[in-house]
Structure 1
Amino acid sequence: MKDEKKAPKLRFKGFTDDWEQCKLGDVCDVYDGIHHTPDYQDNGIMFLSVENISTLTSDKFVSRDFFEQNYKIFPEKGDILLTRIGNVGTPNVVESTDKLAYYVSLALLKAPKINSYFLCNLICTQEFKKELHRKTLTTAIPQKINKDEIRKITFFDSTSSDERKKIGSLLEKINFTITLHEEKKQQLKCLKSALLQKMFAYKSGYPAIRFEGFSDEWEQCKLGDVADRFDNLRVPVIANLRKNGDTPYYGANGIQDYVDGYTHDGEYILVAEDGANNLKNYPINYVSGRIWVNNHAHVLQAIPYLASTRFLGYEIGRSNIVSLLVGGGRAKLNADALMNMNLNLPKIKEQELIADLFQKVEISITLQNYKLDKLKNLKSSLLKKMFI
């Protein structure tokens, strides 16, 4: 039912007609998957559920007989799968030409007369999400939206198939570029993880991978043998310092704010003392320059002729530092335990080469994050301006 017209703020040249309001059921058919858990197989027809929406791939399969009996209508290339239970409202376009089975937690949208990428991105707009939320049973556990309610969602649609195609194509190119950068970022993170395993010595005293020209056994030592620890100022109230400052402020969980003034100036490793929220990835930061550190983080600096501060940060980070914590709900890492932890160190030159390599990998990861943020911001802006 079309009862209102509007125009988006940003359009391709040559398109001037107003968009018309309609219901999702006007432009596509909506189906849901089977309501019972199937008997999974080692191979056969891939079975998708809500947790598979981002990739539309799964390690679960159903038999071909089961598929033929239960799926008269099934996802095909160009269709859209939309999450409807638990995670409500995340869409993805089916790219595969293989047959796919799907669970009731997904809705299947078949819209042969409308560009799939246009519709998929339209579903991602804030206005569509608001309408979707209004029709979602948020009090249900887990929350869900019924198939018939999905059909009733209203939105503004272009009357031109060419305009839909252009918008869909542009946004799909951006999505594809985002995916490429996310994959590269993941590859870099995997590279860093592999290097942490291979370039640092364990019980044998020798790492699996080394720079050419280095063959000496790594020496065991205590952290306190090669690094200094500094006590922090214990200032009871620093709220006034947090206003309009330009110095990073660190606590147990990393950077928190910016303040006036500083407590340290130089190259340091910061290790959470207590109150750390994430014990799996225990907070350890390498910092350089002027910083303010509160009394919930240890401040360490390598003794220059013995160790590289940046290298020590990686060596401490790969150790089982959580095993040194004491106390109950608010576990604490005291100074003696930290400074007595065992380390394996090569000669200073090898430390510096390893630290430089990891720094380059981390800079590449940061660059990927920057590119991803720019692309996601661009996509968000286009979703706001190219749709209504």
Structure 2
Amino acid sequence: MKDEKKAPKLRFKGFTDDWEQCKLKNKAEIVRGASPRPISNPKWFDDNSNVGWLRISDVTEQRGRIHHLSQRISKAGQSKTRVITEPHLLLSIAATVGSPVINYVNTGVHDGFLIFLNPTFDKEFMFQWLLMFKPYWNKYGQPGSQVNLNSDIVGNQSVAFPTMSEQERIADFFSKLDTAITLHEEKERQLERLKSALLQKMFADKSGYPAVRFKGFNEAWTNRKLGNYFDYEQPTPYIVTNTNYSDEYNTPVLTAGQSFILGYTNEDIGLKCATYKEPVIIFDDFTTSTHLVTFPFKVKSSAMKILTLTQKNDSMYFGYTSLQNIKYKPLNHERQWISIFSKIKIGIPISKIEERKIGNLFERIDHLDNYYQQKIERLNSIKQSLLQKMFI
């Protein structure tokens, strides 16, 4: 019987050769980094050194592609570690286990990483393969314990390799896809920085005047307590038992905390669970986070207040801006709206037109931010799918 063809499900046109199964130790010399001890001793580090010191936080922040390092290792420290001065492929074996790294700067590599020396594969191809394979390292850990990788385990891992020309083609494709993701992430970061700066400047300070405002408005703002603008409801008919959630259902179920949208339901599960329809502001009584909600929803948690405006003010202004601009860190686990937030004074424009313009501006910024988030999620989803299909 003819052997099954060794090829991925999806490949570029013009490539038909079988992929070669080979252990990683036959494709590179795999060695572990080294760390000076004790690592806390300041003599190992020198801000003026031209050799960086790679930490797992750098890997996370730079998405595995290291172009700069803030911490520098001294001459004494360099004698106690492995220093690399050319681009190298690395693999983390501590903290965030199994994260691949391509390092482009002079670096001292500590013992939480493996280094692939003198590889006979394309570094970018192998970087992407390691990203694809990262979840599978878990087989080397006991349930409930951390994965423990070493050079022998990694070196004995069998990998299918195509020809070098196909490796380079695959590597180039994923490199360009990563660049597109990075560009969208940078656009989102710039938008968040812009929003943060505008939140600081478009609201009145103690003088009663904002530093930046729309043309044609020059009146001083007034200060009033938030409690003068909102009625609040403590939801009591909320979903308290487990229910089946599905994206096929229509009504979202909201909860306190970062998750916010817990799921979607089409039932009241035997309770008189209210469905809120009007635009309201959700106030998390414990974390003090706020969400402007303009769609029908049901409530899962009682740890929130449903805020509705009592006057003809712009809901976008309050939901997108004013409440977000309050700098307050909860000191303990208590209900915050009645005891704290309702008594906080905030600046309010005299002109409803100015109020609406500010609300509309931040609404547009948030919509654009959501667009970039969805774009990034979509590109990452596409990449994960392609990683599974373009490697064996």
TM-score (norm 1): 0.85
One-letter amino acid matched to 1:270: I
Q: How does 1:60-75 map to 2 (within 5 A)?
A: 60-64=71-75, 66-67=77-78, 69-70=79-80, 74-75=84-85
Deviation at 1:166, TM superposition (A): 0.5
User: Hey, what's the Cα distance between the residues in 2 that align with 1:373 and 1:269?
Assistant: 26
Please state whether the residue corresponding to 2:114 is helix, strand or coil.
strand
Q: How does 1:82-121 map to 2 (within 5 A)?
A: 82-96=91-105, 99-121=106-128
Q: Does 1:357 align with 2:361?
A: yes
Note the alpha carbon deviations across 1:349-387, whole angstroms, 9 max, x for none. Answer: 221111111111111111111111111111111111010
Q: Does 1:39 align with 2:51?
A: no
Please state whether the residue corresponding to 1:290 is helix, strand or coil.
coil
Map of 1:198 onto structure 2: 201
Please state whether the residue corresponding to 1:10 is helix, strand or coil.
coil
The 1:236–1:90 alpha-carbon spacing in structure 2 relative to 1, beyond 3 Å, is closer
Calculate percent identity across the aligned residue pairs. 28
The 1:175–1:241 alpha-carbon spacing in structure 2 relative to 1, beyond 3 Å, is closer
Map of 2:280 onto structure 1: 268
User: Hey, what's the Cα distance between the residues in 2 that align with 1:356 and 1:184?
Assistant: 20
Alignment RMSD (CA, Å): 2.8
Please state whether the residue corresponding to 1:256 is helix, strand or coil.
strand
The 1:23–1:133 alpha-carbon spacing in structure 2 relative to 1, beyond 3 Å, is farther
Map of 1:369 onto structure 2: 373
Note the alpha carbon deviations across 1:290-337, whole angstroms, 9 max, x for none. Answer: 2223543211222453x21121122122224545x7xx6x42235464
State the number of aligned residues. Answer: 367
The 1:245–1:379 alpha-carbon spacing in structure 2 relative to 1, beyond 3 Å, is closer
The 1:52–1:137 alpha-carbon spacing in structure 2 relative to 1, beyond 3 Å, is farther
Q: Retained in 2: the 8 A contact 1:136–1:146?
A: no
Q: How does 1:183-262 map to 2 (within 5 A)?
A: 183-235=186-238, 245-253=249-257, 254-260=260-266
User: Hey, what's the Cα distance between the residues in 2 that align with 1:242 and 1:139?
Assistant: 28
Give the strand-richer structure, 1 or 2. Answer: 1
Please state whether the residue corresponding to 1:85 is helix, strand or coil.
coil
Question: Which residues of structure 1 form unaligned runs of 5+?
Answer: none
User: Hey, what's the Cα distance between the residues in 2 that align with 1:139 and 1:71?
Assistant: 31
TM-score (norm 2): 0.84
Higher mean alpha-carbon deviation, 311-320 vs 348-357, is at 311-320
Q: Retained in 1: the 8 A contact 2:81–2:110?
A: no
The 1:139–1:197 alpha-carbon spacing in structure 2 relative to 1, beyond 3 Å, is same
One-letter amino acid matched to 2:336: L
Please state whether the residue corresponding to 1:298 is helix, strand or coil.
strand
One-letter amino acid matched to 2:70: D
Q: Retained in 2: the 8 A contact 1:50–1:106?
A: no
User: Hey, what's the Cα distance between the residues in 1 that align with 2:220 and 2:231?
Assistant: 24
User: Hey, what's the Cα distance between the residues in 1 that align with 2:142 and 2:236?
Assistant: 51
User: Hey, what's the Cα distance between the residues in 2 that align with 1:242 and 1:114?
Assistant: 46
